[in-house]
Chain A
């Protein structure tokens, strides 16, 4: 079990490109950029508790050929700095990687102010922005490396919650290409980040009940893998999406956008039902907000019992 923020920090520290510069806003031990700082102190910039300034500084560095990774909690990275990202990064299309850790209710005890549930919505609605939300250690490390090579603004959504390792070390991932897990025909579970492991758990339990579903790991929410969504809509029965994000504007909405235009079909969206989070243990919160494996299982069972 390892949190994607931890995998991110480790991967960042290993990147060989000397153009990479890391910025943090007094949270490096939490965002895990401290691992980069230890290794490359000369390429680490601590801006203090000043997220807006961090985003602007990153933009300036990018105009001079640097590849800045600016990290802080997702709530501050995207919410507090929306206009800085919009004017100083996305509109000029600068090569800045915005890394928001502690996304979703799985932040846990810190509560609603720190549980960012609107970041996917904010970032995917912004022109030029690519939105990445990895699900495990292997995928995070591979995608951090891909993001560094990719030219243009990226929002990387990361979690505090530890999750199981889902992929073998040699699996490769491409920005914009979703990953299919299993080949069930009864239904599809679209998931991203922490909910991918929950979906796989649900998939296993459902199979015991004779319901064979596939899981689609949507690690890139923008540009979304339209081909995969259409393929699953054609090949499988019930479509369900599950995310640790508001059901308005998140991955589910992005999938629904594709279905509406390209292959109209009902999608059952699981996510935080347009409300703020609250304090509690991450597992309890996932259960409370019905984004855990039990909630997913329930949706399919109800459908198949009818």
Chain B
């Protein structure tokens, strides 16, 4: 069931943030910062935008999502569980030896995961392949590819961007989770990337690029609609986000890229989200 009301989507995103923290708390490892920065984007995609049916995860006509920044797996799993692909109870098994919920998403282990990812920079090529297949077979399904801003330092992304525009993949929508941080510091300092020049880059590669507030549900919905309306070229939504969004002590702090919460931090984070 799609959620159409903005407030209801905001509520869902809040619940997903709590799920993410629970997963990472139980796993005692994971990537909270980059999961919380893309939570609102994924929530809109899975609860409003994408044509999907959780009871038919392999339906050939479904829309697809490639989580190119595979380390945000906790966010993807939370969305899929909340959407009904598998039991929410399973989330606490995240990263455990017998769990299907691998550290990075495995398409053969988790229903609803459309592509196995983990090594950065590879997702857009895969999304292109899916979008080309959709066009070849006149299936009409759309493909979404969520990339990190740091990930754009991988050359393959730009090889792929040329393919997206060459094949006029207007059924492809790239979303960059532009949280300005990567593991060791500021993305702008490490490789001079910021939302504005990322948008310019995608524009010059033949995309229709839009900059939005990646935590504003209405703006995310608006941009995804724009992407659908755009014909003859792919769209790139550059979503300005905050790493660790929703948890005060994690926000904009690179230390929370790949670190688990302890008992106290977990409690504090959940309390903040429940305010």
Contact assessment for B116 and A91 in the assembled complex, using a CB-CB cutoff below 8 Å: yes
CA distance A32 to B41 in the complex (A): 44
Using A50-B162, A87-B118, A92-B116 as known contacts, say yes or no to A60 and B108 having CB atoms under 8 A apart.
no
Report the minimal beta-carbon distance from A160 to chain B, rounded to whole angstroms.
Answer: 25
Contact assessment for B116 and A45 in the assembled complex, using a CB-CB cutoff below 8 Å: no
Contact assessment for B128 and A56 in the assembled complex, using a CB-CB cutoff below 8 Å: yes
Contact assessment for B124 and A56 in the assembled complex, using a CB-CB cutoff below 8 Å: yes
The SS class assigned to the B binding surface is: helix
Using A50-B162, A88-B116 as known contacts, say yes or no to A60 and B60 having CB atoms under 8 A apart.
no
Contact assessment for A56 and B108 in the assembled complex, using a CB-CB cutoff below 8 Å: no
Does A59 sit at the interface, judged by CB under 8 A? yes
Nearest neighbor of B68 in chain A, beta-carbon distance: A56
Does A164 sit at the interface, judged by CB under 8 A? no
Interface residues of B in 92-137 (CB under 8 A from A): 106-108, 114-119, 122-134, 136-137
Using A48-B162, A63-B107, A93-B108 as known contacts, say yes or no to A84 and B130 having CB atoms under 8 A apart.
no
Report the minimal beta-carbon distance from B93 to chain A, rounded to whole angstroms.
Answer: 20
Give chain B's interface residue range (CB within 8 Å of chain A).
20 to 34
CA distance A54 to B160 in the complex (A): 8
Does A235 sit at the interface, judged by CB under 8 A? no
CA distance A170 to B50 in the complex (A): 51
Contact assessment for A63 and B130 in the assembled complex, using a CB-CB cutoff below 8 Å: yes
CA distance A43 to B136 in the complex (A): 8
Interface residues of B in 31-56 (CB under 8 A from A): none
Mark contacts of B62-79 with chain A using CB atoms, 8 A cut-off: 1 yes-contact digit, 0 otherwise. Answer: 001010000000000000
Contact assessment for A63 and B114 in the assembled complex, using a CB-CB cutoff below 8 Å: yes
Does B159 sit at the interface, judged by CB under 8 A? yes
Q: Which 6 A-B pairs have the closest CB atoms?
A: A60-B129, A56-B125, A64-B133, A53-B159, A50-B159, A92-B116
Q: Which residues of A contact B (CB under 8 A)?
A: 21, 42-43, 45, 47-48, 50, 52-66, 68, 83-84, 86-88, 91-93
Given contacts A61-B129, A63-B107, list 17 more A-B pairs with CB under 8 A: A42-B136, A48-B163, A50-B156, A50-B163, A53-B160, A53-B163, A56-B128, A56-B156, A56-B160, A57-B128, A60-B127, A61-B132, A63-B133, A86-B119, A87-B116, A87-B118, A88-B122
